[in-house]
C-alpha cells in the first residue's frame, strides 16, 4: 500500500489538479491575474533568485504545489519545508506608489496572513476556472469541496484558517468584489511580465508545430481572464478571438467528457502530474539564458533596490 498524501484520491483537490489541462494552465493564469495585486507582485519580484528566469521559478512553484496536492506526505513535507525556508526572509516595503491603495512604503511579508490568503485565492480561482472551462462544470458540492481543500492547502503552507472565508459562497462574493474594486493596480513591470506570461508578447519566433501548441495555450489563458484584466493589460480581444477560444476550449472539454471516443495515446495524456512539462519549459529557458537571450526581453535583471542604489549614492554625495 502506497504512502497516503494530505489529500485522498477521492478529494476534489486531487481530482482537479491531476487533470493536465488544469495543471498546465492554472499557474500561469494565476500569475497573470495575481499581478494586479502590487504587494504580491513586488514582494515576489524583489525577493526571487529567478528574476531573469521566471519560467524556471514557475516550474519550481508548480512542482512544489503538485508535491503537496498529489504527492505522499513525505514528498509534501519536503516541499512545505523548502517553501517555509524560502519565505522566512521575504519582507519589505513598496519602493514606489502602486495606486491609491498601495502608497510607497506599504509593507509586505510572505508570512502576512492576508497575503497568504490572496495567494491561495488567486490560485484556487484559476484552478476552478480552468477545470470548468477545459474539463466540465463542477456541481455546487464539488466547488465547496475544492474550496475547502484549497483552504487546507493554504493552511499547510502556514495560512491561518481565519484568514479565508468560511465557505465557497462567501469566498466567491468577496473575491469577485475585489476583482471589481479600485484596489487592482498593475505596475509597469507587472504589466510587462504578465504580458509575456499571457502570450500577449512573444519574444522569439517558434517553429511549427510548437508555435501552434503555444498559441493554443496562450489563447486559452487569455480567454479565461476576466474582461477587466484583459483591458488592464491592453489585450486585443474581439469576436474572432472569442470564437477561436470557445472552439478550442470545447474541443479540450470534449476530449475529457467523451474519453471512450478519444484515441488511447491522447487519453493517457489527459491526467497525471504536469511536472515533466514544467521541466521542459525550464530547460528551454536555461538554454536561452546560456546564449545570453532573456526569456522576457525588457525586464530589468536588477531589483528596484539594485537599480536605484547608484542614484541614491550619488544623491548622498551631492
For the segment 111-140, what is each residue's pLDDT rounded down to a tens digit? 999 999 999 999 999 999 999 999 999 999
Comparing CA positions, the residue from 22, 12, 46 lying closest to residue 253 is 22
Q: What is the mean pLDDT of residues 162-175?
A: 98
pLDDT beyond 70 at 46: yes
Q: Where are the alpha helices (DSSP H) in the chain?
A: 12-17, 20-23, 26-34, 38-45, 54-70, 73-87, 113-134, 140-156, 168-179, 188-197, 210-224, 227-233, 239-257, 264-267, 275-290, 304-317
285 belongs to a structural domain? yes
**Residue 315: pLDDT band with limits 50, 70, 90:** very low
Overall average pLDDT of the 36-64 stretch:
90
Distance CA(130)–CA(133), nearest Å, equals 5
Q: Cell triple for residue 68? A: 503537496
Q: Is the pLDDT of residue 265 over 50?
A: no
User: CB within 8 A of 122, min separation 6: which ones?
Assistant: 30, 33, 34, 37, 40
Q: Give CA–CA dist 236/222, Å, rounded.
A: 10
Given a cut of 90, is residue 205 above it in pLDDT?
no
- Is 6 contained in some domain? no
Mean pLDDT (whole number) for 12-20:
95
201 CB-near residues (< 8 Å, 6+ apart) = 192, 195, 296
Enter the pTM of the model. 0.91
Residue 209: which pLDDT band, with cuts at 50, 70 and 90?
confident
Cell of 128: 476552478
User: Does any domain span residue 318?
Assistant: no
Task: Determine, yes or no, domain membership for 2.
Answer: no
What percent of the chain clears pLDDT 90, i.e. is strictly above it? 71
Q: Is 212 exposed, middle or buried (0-12, 13-18, 19+ CB in 10 A)?
A: exposed
* 309 within a domain of the structure (yes/no): yes
Instruction: Please give the radius of gyration of the chain, using alpha carbons only, rounded to the nearest integer.
Output: 20
Residue 77 sits in which domain range? 12-313
- Average pLDDT on 25-44 reads 96
C-alpha cell at position 219? 489563447
Does 7 reside within a domain? no
- Which of 17-21, 41-45, 201-205 has the least mean pLDDT? 201-205
Distance CA 103, CA 79 (A): 34
β-strand 91-93 against 107-109: which pairing, if any? antiparallel
Identify whether the C-beta of residue 12 lies closer than 8 Å to the C-beta of residue 149: yes
What confidence tens digit (pLDDT) does each residue in 270-302 have? 877 887 888 888 888 889 888 989 999 999 888
SS3 state at 109: strand
- In tens, the pLDDT along 80-97 reads 999 999 999 899 999 999
Residue 279 or residue 100, greater confidence? 100
**The three cell numbers locating residue 28:** 500561469
Helices 54-70, 188-197: inter-axial angle, 10-degree rounding: 70
* Residue-level pLDDT at 310: 53
- Say if residues 181 and 100 touch (Cβ distance below 8 Å): no
Report the SS3 class of residue 29.
Answer: helix
Q: In the predicted model, what is the mean pLDDT of residues 265-272?
A: 65
The lowest-confidence range among 41-45, 171-175, 262-266 is 262-266
Q: What average pLDDT does range 48-74 have in this prediction? A: 90
Sign of CA pseudo-dihedral 175, 148, 6, 257: negative
Name which of 170, 176, 228, 229 is nearest 29 in CA terms. 229
Predicted local distance difference test score (pLDDT) of residue 311: 53
pLDDT confidence tier of residue 263, bands split at 50, 70 and 90: low
User: Average pLDDT for residues 151-168, to the nearest whole number?
Assistant: 97
- Kindly tell me if the per-residue pLDDT of 190 is higher than 60: yes
Cell of 57: 521559478
Domain count, the chain: 1
Q: Is residue 149 part of a domain?
A: yes
Mean pLDDT, range 234-263, rounded to an integer: 86
Mean pLDDT for 183-190 is: 96
The answer to the question of residue 22 being in a domain is yes
- 266: CB partners within 8 A, 6+ apart: 255
pLDDT score, position 242? 97
Amino acid at each position: 500500500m502506497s504512502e497516503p498524501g494530505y489529500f485522498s484520491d477521492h478529494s476534489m483537490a486531487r481530482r482537479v489538479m491531476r487533470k493536465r489541462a488544469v495543471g498546465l494552465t492554472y499557474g500561469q493564469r494565476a500569475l497573470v491575474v495575481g499581478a494586479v495585486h502590487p504587494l504580491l507582485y513586488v514582494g515576489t519580484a524583489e525577493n526571487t533568485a529567478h528574476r531573469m528566469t521566471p519560467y524556471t521559478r514557475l516550474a519550481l512553484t508548480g512542482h512544489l504545489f503538485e508535491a503537496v496536492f498529489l504527492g505522499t506526505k513525505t514528498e509534501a513535507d519536503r516541499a512545505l519545508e523548502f517553501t517555509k525556508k524560502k519565505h522566512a526572509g521575504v519582507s519589505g516595503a513598496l519602493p514606489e506608489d502602486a495606486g491609491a491603495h498601495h502608497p510607497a512604503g506599504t509593507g509586505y511579508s510572505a508570512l502576512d496572513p492576508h497575503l497568504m490568503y490572496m495567494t491561495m485565492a488567486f490560485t484556487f480561482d484559476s484552478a476552478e476556472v480552468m477545470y470548468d472551462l477545459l474539463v466540465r462544470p463542477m456541481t455546487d458540492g464539488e466547488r465547496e469541496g475544492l474550496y475547502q481543500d484549497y483552504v487546507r492547502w493554504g493552511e499547510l503552507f502556514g495560512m491561518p484558517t481565519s484568514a479565508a472565508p468560511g465557505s465557497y459562497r462567501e469566498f466567491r462574493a468577496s473575491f469577485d468584489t475585489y476583482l471589481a474594486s479600485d484596489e487592482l493596480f498593475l505596475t509597469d513591470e507587472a504589466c510587462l511580465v504578465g504580458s509575456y506570461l499571457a502570450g500577449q508578447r512573444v519574444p522569439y519566433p517558434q517553429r511549427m508545430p510548437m508555435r501552434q501548441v503555444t498559441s493554443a495555450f496562450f489563447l486559452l489563458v487569455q480567454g479565461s481572464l476576466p474582461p477587466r484584466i484583459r483591458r488592464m493589460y491592453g489585450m486585443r480581444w474581439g469576436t474572432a478571438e472569442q470564437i477561436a477560444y470557445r472552439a478550442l476550449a470545447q474541443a479540450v472539454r470534449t476530449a475529457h467528457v467523451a474519453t471512450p471516443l478519444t484515441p488511447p495515446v491522447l487519453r493517457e495524456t489527459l491526467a497525471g502530474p504536469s511536472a515533466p512539462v514544467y521541466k521542459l519549459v525550464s530547460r528551454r529557458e536555461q538554454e536561452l539564458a546560456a546564449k545570453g537571450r532573456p526569456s522576457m526581453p525588457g525586464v530589468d535583471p536588477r531589483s528596484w533596490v539594485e537599480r536605484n542604489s547608484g542614484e541614491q549614492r550619488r544623491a548622498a554625495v551631492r
